[in-house]
Amino acid sequence: MSATVARIPDNRQPTIPDAAPERRPPWGDVGFWVLAILFATILLLPLYVLFKVSVSTLAEATAPRPSYLPREITWANWGRLLNWDIIGDPLRHSLIVAFSTAIVAVLIAAPAAYVISRLPRGTRYFIVLGLLLTRMFPEVIIATPIAANFFSWGLNDTNVGLALAHLIRALPLVTWVLVGTFEVIPRDLEEASAVDGSGRVGTLLRVVLPLAAPGIAVAAIFAWLDSWNDLLYAIYLFLTERTLPLITYYYANRGTVTDVATFSIILTIPVLLLTLFLQRWIRSGYLSGAVKG
Amino acid sequence: MARDGSAVGVLVASDRAVVPPTPTFGQPAGLQRWLARYWLDIVLVTPLFLYVFFFMLVPVVQSIYLSFTLEGAGQPTFDNYRTVINRSQFRDAFVNTLGISIIGVTMEMTVGIIIALMLARAFRGRGLFRSIVLVPLGVPTIVAGAAMLYFIGFNGYLNEILLDLGIIDVPIYWQQSGLRGMFAIALADLWKTTPLVVLILLAGLESIPGDVYEAASVDGADGWRRFWDHTIPLLMPSITMALILRVIDAFRIFDIALVLAGQAIPVMSSFVYFDYQAGSINTAAAAAVILLLMILVFVVAYLLLVARRTEDVR
């Protein structure tokens, strides 16, 4: 055995037979892979179907027995809907609102999260838990009076109004992520900077902020995604204007199946790319921190 | 005088939980010192707390107020609640919301635990599988609902798959009220929220020492017993968090139900929206308050039950 190890530098070779009996999954290796492939297929199937319908002719998409593979590929739906007259205004609203929400959320939440992260453990836990508990409020209980107020203030159908509404969901989320980010920045660095003669504001801007930048970026993207995906506040506040989720909804109600699928894919592409890019950061860390308190 | 001063001093010193020491009235010098020391912290947290107060807490109170008044204000009344509860649409919404939550969260927790256990194991292609599991996280909720339209429609893929597998002979009409409709909506919700449940449970599994071995060695009766006796209790904090988050969100379900079934299968949130849209903001508020109560009752009941069971174990 040891001779084999010495002769073959690839250390995977000898460990496979050794480790195999120990690592038997619940249903055996074959069962494991069948299950993994089954789950992977089910998880990807809805997106595949949306894409398939978006490149199908209307006749094919409404046929009695749907086919798994496209019989005939057409880009006509994409060509018709990627038209500035249809998609321009909703896209503009969605982009402006999402970016404003992300930026303002960070501007409001980051300073507060810094202070909260420097509080003693008990108080900090209490505040973060309180912010998370705001999730217990059904959104409609907030949206109903907010919509009524915004109408009387003339904020309906405006980007400002919608961004203000999206902050309601974004702020607790961003604060939560940023408290976790600031917590791990050692206080010694701030004290060292203070000894060097920087004021507190200077220390914050020159020492703490650059170290927190990656976390702030991740939190901003979370807020951006949340705003980009939102239907609830948009449907309450936008009566004549449209955002991308809103036109997807209206097409789902009244449009053709191919148009719905095409809009869905258009709406999904940026979100999917950002999420897959973010997956390194959407790991257990934030969540396990919350579970353990 | 001296006794007063020392009493205040003791109070402040012993109250360690409050970190910026509370300013004591009648001591302007103390208040000034406190402000001089903490002014920056106060300036930094104020915007967040103002926002949470005015855009979250005030609207909730406004809704509660609206729910107890009739149009044009006046005496507090239960009329809105009476009106709402007597409507069959509301009773449907109530039952549907509970049904979707029970069916959906049961499926989500089951699938979530299975996938989390799979991901806790080291295998070739784990990174790819993890990315695929996260895909629904990167799909807007409304798109998850829209995608499900192509599955649960009469000519949809769910029927097609069941027909091809020979499970059914005649296509099923899924988009109707009752159990089928609830199941269809729960299915869309399952697809969309599985990644979140998996991430929370995986975080829990990874914090259990030796969990990779644990997850991998769950085979045979012995392995299953260890899974129930060892892994599940250690995983309990994560399960509690996933369950509470998921039930709260399932109670609040809106986008998916609206896109899939609209008024045909009302849920609590969509009922509130349709009522608001129809111009009766007071009954909409009443329904929203009932939804808040449903969530509060669940969370409190669950925490009490779990806390009591944990105490029994001790």
Window 34-63 of A, Cβ < 8 Å to B = 35-36, 39-40, 42-47, 49-50, 53, 62-63
Shortest Cα–Cα distance, A40 to chain B (Å): 6
Window 215-274 of A, Cβ < 8 Å to B = 228-229, 231-232, 235-236, 245, 248-249, 252-253, 257, 260-261, 264, 267-268, 271-274
Q: Is residue B291 in a domain?
A: yes
Put simply, the answer to whether B200 touches A261 (Cβ < 8 Å) is: no
Report yes or no: B245 and B299 within 8 Å, Cβ to Cβ: no
CA dist A271 and A126 (Å) reads 32
Residues 6+ apart with CB under 8 A from B225: none
Banded pLDDT at A4 (limits 50, 70, 90) = very low
CA dist B186 and B247 (Å) reads 12
- B68 by Cβ neighbours in 10 Å (0-12 / 13-18 / 19+) ranks as middle
Q: Is residue B239 in a domain?
A: yes
Q: Is residue A63 in a domain?
A: no
The interface pTM score, or ipTM, of the predicted complex is 0.79
A with B: how many residue pairs have Cβ under 8 Å apart? 284
Put simply, the answer to whether A282 touches B134 (Cβ < 8 Å) is: yes
Put simply, the answer to whether B288 touches A231 (Cβ < 8 Å) is: no
Q: Is residue A275 in a domain?
A: yes
* Whether residues A112 and A160 fall in one domain: yes
* Whether residues A117 and A231 fall in one domain: yes
Residues of chain B positioned with their CB less than 8 A from the CB of A23: 121-122, 216-217
Report yes or no: B250 and B238 within 8 Å, Cβ to Cβ: no
**Predicted TM-score (pTM) above 0.90:** no
Q: Is residue B61 in a domain?
A: no
Quick check: helix, strand or coil at residue B262?
Answer: coil
* Whether residues B11 and B96 fall in one domain: no
Report yes or no: A234 and A250 within 8 Å, Cβ to Cβ: no
Residues of chain A positioned with their CB less than 8 A from the CB of B285: 141, 144-145
Put simply, the answer to whether A287 touches B149 (Cβ < 8 Å) is: no
Res B109: pLDDT: 94
Residue A82 has pLDDT above 50, yes or no: yes
Q: What is the mean pLDDT of chain A?
A: 80
Res A112: pLDDT: 93
pLDDT tens, residue by residue, A18-35: 334 444 545 567 778 888
* Whether residues A99 and A38 fall in one domain: no
Q: Is residue A57 in a domain?
A: no
Highest-confidence segment of A89-93, A183-187, B225-229: A89-93
Residues of chain B positioned with their CB less than 8 A from the CB of A140: 252, 254, 268-269, 272-273, 276, 284, 288, 291
Q: Is residue A4 in a domain?
A: no
* Whether residues A97 and A192 fall in one domain: yes
* Whether residues A245 and A124 fall in one domain: yes
Q: Is residue B58 in a domain?
A: no
Res A3: pLDDT: 36
Q: For chain A, what is the HEC assignment?
A: CHHHHHHCCCCHHHHHHHHCCCCCCCCHHHHHHHHHHHHHHHHHHHHHHHHHHHCCCHHHHCCCCCCCCCCCCCCHHHHHHCCHHHHHHHHHHHHHHHHHHHHHHHHHHHHHHHHHHCCCHHHHHHHHHHHHHHHHCCHHHHHHHHHHHHHHCCCCCCHHHHHHHHHHHHHHHHHHHHHHHHHCCCHHHHHHHHHCCCCHHHHHHHHHHHHHHHHHHHHHHHHHHHHHHCCHHHHHHCCCCCCHHHHHHHHHHHCCHHHHHHHHHHHHHHHHHHHHHHCCCCCHHHHHHHHHC
Measured between CB atoms, which of A115, A138, A279 is closest to B131?
Answer: A279
Q: Is residue B285 in a domain?
A: yes
Give the torsion through C-alpha atoms of A110, A113, A115, A119, to 10 deg: -170
pLDDT tens, residue by residue, A55-76: 888 777 777 777 778 777 888 8
Q: Which whole-number Å values give the CA distances from B229 to A288, B69, B223, in the listed order?
A: 22, 53, 10
Shortest Cα–Cα distance, B307 to chain A (Å): 16
* Whether residues A271 and A187 fall in one domain: yes
What's chain B's length in residues?
314
Mutation pick from A121, A137, A155 vs chain B, by most beta carbons of B within 10 Å, is: A137
* Whether residues B23 and B155 fall in one domain: no
Q: Is residue B81 in a domain?
A: no
Question: Mean of the pLDDT values across residues A3-23?
Answer: 39
Q: Which whole-number Å values give the CA distances from B125 to B161, B202, B272, in the listed order?
A: 27, 17, 45
CA dist A205 and A208 (Å) reads 6
Query: By residue range, what is the domain housing residue B27?
Result: 2-51
CA dist A179 and A217 (Å) reads 14
* Whether residues B154 and B286 fall in one domain: yes
Report yes or no: A140 and A168 within 8 Å, Cβ to Cβ: no
Question: Mean of the pLDDT values across residues A249-271?
Answer: 86
Instruction: Dig out the tokens for A90 from the structure.
Output: 């909703």
* Whether residues A20 and A143 fall in one domain: no
With tokens 């105490």, the residue in question is: B311
With tokens 């349709």, the residue in question is: B274
Q: Is residue B120 in a domain?
A: yes
**pLDDT tens over chain B, length 314 residues:** 333 433 333 333 333 444 454 545 555 678 888 888 888 888 889 999 999 999 999 999 999 998 888 876 667 888 889 989 999 899 999 999 999 999 999 999 999 999 998 888 878 888 888 888 888 888 888 988 888 888 887 778 888 888 888 888 888 877 777 888 899 899 999 999 998 899 888 888 877 776 545 555 555 556 677 777 778 888 888 888 889 889 999 999 999 988 887 778 899 999 999 999 988 888 999 999 999 999 999 989 988 887 666 655 54
CA dist B156 and B174 (Å) reads 10
Residue A185 has pLDDT above 90, yes or no: no
Q: Is residue A142 in a domain?
A: yes
Going by C-alpha positions, the residue among A174, A189, A180, A216 that lies closest to residue A293 is: A180
Number of domains in chain B: 2
CA dist B310 and B289 (Å) reads 31
Window 127-186 of A, Cβ < 8 Å to B = 131, 134-149, 164, 167-168, 171-172, 175
CA dist B80 and A32 (Å) reads 54
Res B60: pLDDT: 94
CA dist A93 and A96 (Å) reads 5
Res A18: pLDDT: 37
Least confident of A123-127, A147-151, A208-212, B208-212: B208-212
Query: By residue range, what is the domain housing residue A33?
Result: 15-45
Question: Mean of the pLDDT values across residues A127-135?
Answer: 84
Q: How many helices (H) and strands (E) does chain B have?
A: 15, 0
* Whether residues B178 and B102 fall in one domain: yes
Q: Is residue A210 in a domain?
A: yes
Report yes or no: A166 and A233 within 8 Å, Cβ to Cβ: yes
Q: How many CB atoms lie within 10 A of CB A39?
A: 18
Q: Is residue B134 in a domain?
A: yes
Residues of chain B positioned with their CB less than 8 A from the CB of A284: 199, 202-203, 206
* Whether residues A153 and A227 fall in one domain: yes
CA dist B170 and B163 (Å) reads 7
Res A63: pLDDT: 75
Task: Provide the percentage of residues in chain A whose pLDDT is more than 90.
Answer: 26
Res B313: pLDDT: 53
* Whether residues B284 and B143 fall in one domain: yes
Number of domains in chain A: 2
Shortest Cα–Cα distance, A31 to chain B (Å): 11
Residue A258 has pLDDT above 90, yes or no: no
* Whether residues A137 and A30 fall in one domain: no
Measured between CB atoms, which of B204, B238, B252 is closest to A138?
Answer: B252
Quick check: helix, strand or coil at residue B101?
Answer: helix
The CATH number of the domain holding residue B303 is 1.10.3720.10
Residue A134 has pLDDT above 80, yes or no: yes
Report yes or no: B130 and A39 within 8 Å, Cβ to Cβ: no
* Whether residues B24 and B130 fall in one domain: no
Measured between CB atoms, which of B48, B118, B276 is closest to A108?
Answer: B48
Residues of chain B positioned with their CB less than 8 A from the CB of A44: 132, 135
Residues of chain B positioned with their CB less than 8 A from the CB of A168: 55-56
Put simply, the answer to whether A231 touches B151 (Cβ < 8 Å) is: no
Q: Which whole-number Å values give the CA distances from B98 to A142, A286, B258, B305, in the listed order?
A: 21, 30, 16, 19
Q: Which whole-number Å values give the CA distances from B128 to A27, B123, B206, in the listed order?
A: 21, 11, 19
Measured between CB atoms, which of A40, A145, A271 is closest to B140?
Answer: A271
Q: Is residue A197 in a domain?
A: yes
* Whether residues B289 and B166 fall in one domain: yes
Res B28: pLDDT: 64
* Whether residues B155 and B19 fall in one domain: no
* Cβ of residue A121 closer than 8 Å to a chain B Cβ: no
